[in-house]
Amino acid sequence: MTDTERIERLETTLAYQEQAIEDLSKTVTEQWAQIAELKRLIGNLGERLREIADNPALAEPPEPPPPHY
């Protein structure tokens, strides 16, 4: 393998690695956004549960049983 072939092979490998790094970085950024949204939703649910625990009248009434019962 000549030096030119080695350099071309290294440049090709580097290009693929750079693209892979960009793709992974984008994926991680998207996942952090999803995690932040899920944390917000969990916080809201926890607050709602605390409100219901403090005041059971806020809870939705249970569904009535189906007519065949």
Burial 31-60 (b: 16+ CB within 10 A, else e): eeeeeeeeeeeeeeeeeeeeeeeeeeeeee
**Total count of domains within the chain:** 1
Using CA atoms, how far apart are residues 57 and 53, in angstroms rounded to an integer?
9
Confirm whether 44 is domain-assigned: yes
Contact 52, 58 (CB under 8 A): yes
- Per-residue confidence (pLDDT) for residue 69, from 0 to 100: 60
- Per-residue confidence (pLDDT) for residue 22, from 0 to 100: 98
- Per-residue confidence (pLDDT) for residue 68, from 0 to 100: 82
Total-model pTM: 0.65
Confirm whether 28 is domain-assigned: yes
Confirm whether 46 is domain-assigned: yes
Confirm whether 36 is domain-assigned: yes
Q: What angle do CA 22, 26, 31 make, to 5 degrees?
A: 150
The whole-number mean pLDDT for each consecutive block of 10 residues of the chain, a chain of 69 residues, reads: 94 97 98 98 95 82 80
- Per-residue confidence (pLDDT) for residue 59, from 0 to 100: 75
Q: Domain range for residue 30?
A: 22-53
